[in-house]
A and B are shown apart, each in its own frame.
Chain A
């Protein structure tokens, strides 16, 4: 424990309940001072010579130094992936390929606590989430895709599936290890090799993952982890020997990537932003619905592409819903990500915090009404209290733009048609939530909402067997399920 942490007030913020501190120990994590790039099965010094610290967003403390890859480094990584693909990985019997993935899944389960603590340290999300959501799902993705590796002809009968070759993968900072699993598991199951770039603010669990690869005895070069920033990402996208690009991140960068691969033969999938509507009807089980709203926008500090960042509530129950929502918000605990009582952790970076502040200011300026429960935020680190805006018009920036923070915008509707019209009225189409007890209405809403994932009477549920991806500017391609294999295969 550092001096800084000892001094920091770790007791939960004032709320309806008082909790004693329940810190998860960080002793389970052993961090190096400095990490190289993981290329060809070992850590190597970056040719770029550049290193940057990875910072804990809860304390602003540097955790370790990581390499920032330059063009030469990316070329080396792609070369290693190509080598591994040509010389062995694509020839290994699919059932043997499967066994490597099964090993990785089990290792993640065995080392789950270590990874969960590191994820919370590096990224800021509460330990309860990394422990109970990120880690189990990451292991599950590897386990699920392991099973597909030797069954591809059943997944795609009479299409003669073959791997594409080398996949270049760029992942975001909101679910670092989970997004790594979503990318690497299907790619490897399909017989490809990988060059993956973690987000610049959250490289550490990806680097620890390389140790799992060592324990799994994965052949060198099959997975290469290249840390760095947008520059390294651009190098991966444009490298001529990368056959397929997979990107999860902001819509703006997604469009740049789509432009960058234009005219090439590269396959591309994009998983971009969202501005999901969480829709409550007057016959909904209201307490459950309020839990669903809270989970929808405050889970992971709202750093979720499919977050329910707009609440569409039927006029007749508006007052009671808002009252219940605000009361529930006062019980949310914002604080140390490593405290097991914490509900809302730190904002991932100063940059993201500034963006949230800018949009919240815009919301107030445009005339929406803001509510934030009383919150004592730590002095160091980047924090934002759970926030809700009422009196929001459809055209306000806070109703159209993705904030990617713990900020909810509330709008109302009278009829199902109006709810659908408003819900669909953004450039996005990733997810939506519907709360009603009427079965036919659930199905009607699901049919009419233009979004790739519809949660009915639930929210933020994920599973490796469940395809995930967007309509419109939320991207194209699906991850998860049988459908998640397709982007990583060539067919006759």
Chain B
């Protein structure tokens, strides 16, 4: 009988897989997952902030292709994911989520933007732009499809993300990070942390260099997290269900530009 080689489940920050700087882990789902510390989270925010300009400057078409590549690579790893989450249906849902959001990348401008008919000789247009660094607290269940449903809309518009995975079932998130690493998603655009939500969520909510937070998966004192978020006027999403371009819009800023028309 052959002894299998067990995987070490680490964090995914800045395109690399470091262990927690605390050196700690916790036993979950039959393995040891990294126990991210507050410093890991701060490092992740820094990585996201560094990665944001390049991801935001990519053309929408390019970003769409990257998300589609996520679907391609995940499709190739179907059985690995199915084993982790206990079924194929959830994996298919997650893959199809990537495909659906990939198609939105180069359409947001037309659905959310406008040319505005102002009462004067001015050209005036509004366009959506990514807000910057978004903190996402993934739902506990379903650990893969629920995570993708919150992650894809956060990044398709050009944001960089710091994501806190399901605490009780984090392994799918770490495996997803391997897909991120091999799908042309630039390092730092998505950072995946595993650990105790009660440790990490307040630090994320209070971080002054995070522009928005998705608290859909946050249990515990939601009100306190929202209060912490107010320190730098973060955009707060409370609960997002289903698939919608409005989930994308929640993390976009609308910019309006005026220019006189004349000879």
Residues of A within 8 Å of B257, CB to CB, are 446, 453-456
CB-contact partner of A473 in B126, B232, B256, under 8 A: B232
Which A residues between 456 and 479 are near B, CB-CB below 8 angstroms?
A: 456-458, 461, 463, 465-469, 471-476, 478
Are A451's CB and B118's CB within 8 A? no
Q: Which of B140-148, B177-185, B189-197, B218-226 contacts A (4 or more CB under 8 A)?
A: B218-226
Are B131's CB and A471's CB within 8 A? yes
The reply to whether the CB of A272 lies closer than 8 angstroms to some CB of chain B is yes
Residues of B within 8 Å of A483, CB to CB, are 114, 126, 254
Chain B proximity of A335: nearest CB distance (Å): 29
The reply to whether the CB of B88 lies closer than 8 angstroms to some CB of chain A is no
Residues of A within 8 Å of B224, CB to CB, are 262-263
CB-contact partner of A262 in B116, B126, B230, B232, under 8 A: B230
Chain B CB within 10 Å, residue with most, of A251, A255, A262, A446: A262
The reply to whether the CB of B255 lies closer than 8 angstroms to some CB of chain A is yes
Using A262-B224, A465-B116 as known contacts, say yes or no to A255 and B256 having CB atoms under 8 A apart. Answer: no
Are B255's CB and A454's CB within 8 A? yes
The reply to whether the CB of A43 lies closer than 8 angstroms to some CB of chain B is no
The reply to whether the CB of A254 lies closer than 8 angstroms to some CB of chain B is yes
The reply to whether the CB of A438 lies closer than 8 angstroms to some CB of chain B is no
Residues of A within 8 Å of B253, CB to CB, are 452, 471
Question: Looking across the interface, which residue of chain A has its beta carbon closest to that of B115?
Answer: A465
Chain B proximity of A318: nearest CB distance (Å): 25
Are B131's CB and A491's CB within 8 A? no
* Complex CA–CA separation, A159 to B118 (angstroms): 26
Are A452's CB and B114's CB within 8 A? no
The reply to whether the CB of A258 lies closer than 8 angstroms to some CB of chain B is yes
Question: Looking across the interface, which residue of chain A has its beta carbon closest to that of B128?
Answer: A483
Which B residues between 238 and 257 are near A, CB-CB below 8 angstroms?
A: 238, 246, 253-257
Chain A proximity of B158: nearest CB distance (Å): 12
Residues of B within 8 Å of A196, CB to CB, are none
Are A472's CB and B120's CB within 8 A? no
CB-contact partner of A482 in B114, B222, B238, B255, under 8 A: B114
Interface size class for chain B? 20 to 34
The reply to whether the CB of B86 lies closer than 8 angstroms to some CB of chain A is no
Question: Looking across the interface, which residue of chain A has its beta carbon closest to that of B57?
Answer: A447
The reply to whether the CB of A14 lies closer than 8 angstroms to some CB of chain B is no
The reply to whether the CB of A442 lies closer than 8 angstroms to some CB of chain B is yes
Question: Looking across the interface, which residue of chain A has its beta carbon closest to that of B123?
Answer: A456
Using A452-B254, A483-B254 as known contacts, say yes or no to A463 and B118 having CB atoms under 8 A apart. Answer: yes
The reply to whether the CB of B89 lies closer than 8 angstroms to some CB of chain A is no
* Complex CA–CA separation, A34 to B208 (angstroms): 46
Are A478's CB and B254's CB within 8 A? yes
Are B233's CB and A255's CB within 8 A? yes
* Complex CA–CA separation, A471 to B252 (angstroms): 10
* Complex CA–CA separation, A416 to B253 (angstroms): 23
Question: Is chain B's binding surface mostly helix, strand, loop or mixed?
Answer: mixed
Chain B proximity of A114: nearest CB distance (Å): 23
Residues of B within 8 Å of A474, CB to CB, are 233
Chain B proximity of A24: nearest CB distance (Å): 24
CB-contact partner of B119 in A463, A469, A476, under 8 A: A463
Chain A proximity of B153: nearest CB distance (Å): 15
The reply to whether the CB of A427 lies closer than 8 angstroms to some CB of chain B is yes
The reply to whether the CB of B227 lies closer than 8 angstroms to some CB of chain A is yes
The reply to whether the CB of A53 lies closer than 8 angstroms to some CB of chain B is no
Are A453's CB and B227's CB within 8 A? no
What 1/0 flags go to B172-212 for Cβ under 8 Å of A? Answer: 00000000000000000000000000000000000000010
Chain B proximity of A457: nearest CB distance (Å): 6
Residues of A within 8 Å of B231, CB to CB, are 255
Residues of B within 8 Å of A264, CB to CB, are 223
The reply to whether the CB of A270 lies closer than 8 angstroms to some CB of chain B is yes
Are B258's CB and A466's CB within 8 A? yes
Residues of B within 8 Å of A469, CB to CB, are 254
Residues of B within 8 Å of A255, CB to CB, are 230-231, 233
Chain A proximity of B212: nearest CB distance (Å): 9
The reply to whether the CB of B124 lies closer than 8 angstroms to some CB of chain A is yes
Using A463-B118, A463-B124, A472-B211 as known contacts, say yes or no to A258 and B256 having CB atoms under 8 A apart. Answer: no
Question: Looking across the interface, which residue of chain A has its beta carbon closest to that of B112?
Answer: A483
Using A251-B233, A255-B230 as known contacts, say yes or no to A456 and B254 having CB atoms under 8 A apart. Answer: no
* Complex CA–CA separation, A451 to B101 (angstroms): 26
Chain A proximity of B256: nearest CB distance (Å): 5
Chain B proximity of A317: nearest CB distance (Å): 21
Residues of A within 8 Å of B225, CB to CB, are 262
Are B126's CB and A446's CB within 8 A? no
Are A467's CB and B258's CB within 8 A? no
Are A467's CB and B232's CB within 8 A? no
What 1/0 flags go to A97-110 for Cβ under 8 Å of B? Answer: 00000000000000
Question: Looking across the interface, which residue of chain A has its beta carbon closest to that of B212?
Answer: A476
Residues of A within 8 Å of B122, CB to CB, are 458, 461
Chain B proximity of A196: nearest CB distance (Å): 22
The reply to whether the CB of B260 lies closer than 8 angstroms to some CB of chain A is yes
Chain B proximity of A444: nearest CB distance (Å): 12
Would you list 10 pairs from A and B whose C-beta atoms are within 8 A, ordered by A residue?
A262-B223, A262-B224, A262-B230, A263-B226, A455-B257, A456-B259, A458-B260, A463-B118, A476-B233, A481-B114
List residues of chain A with CB under 8 Å of any chain B CB: 140, 159, 251, 254-256, 258-259, 261-265, 270, 272, 427, 442, 446, 451-458, 461, 463, 465-469, 471-476, 478, 481-483, 491
Since A453-B257, A476-B233 are in contact, a sample of 12 more A-B pairs with Cβ atoms closer than 8 Å, ordered by chain A residue number, is A259-B226, A262-B225, A262-B226, A263-B222, A270-B233, A446-B255, A451-B255, A453-B256, A453-B258, A465-B117, A476-B235, A481-B126
Q: Return the 8 tightest CB-CB contacts between A and B, nearest first.
A: A263-B223, A262-B226, A258-B230, A463-B118, A262-B227, A456-B259, A454-B257, A259-B230
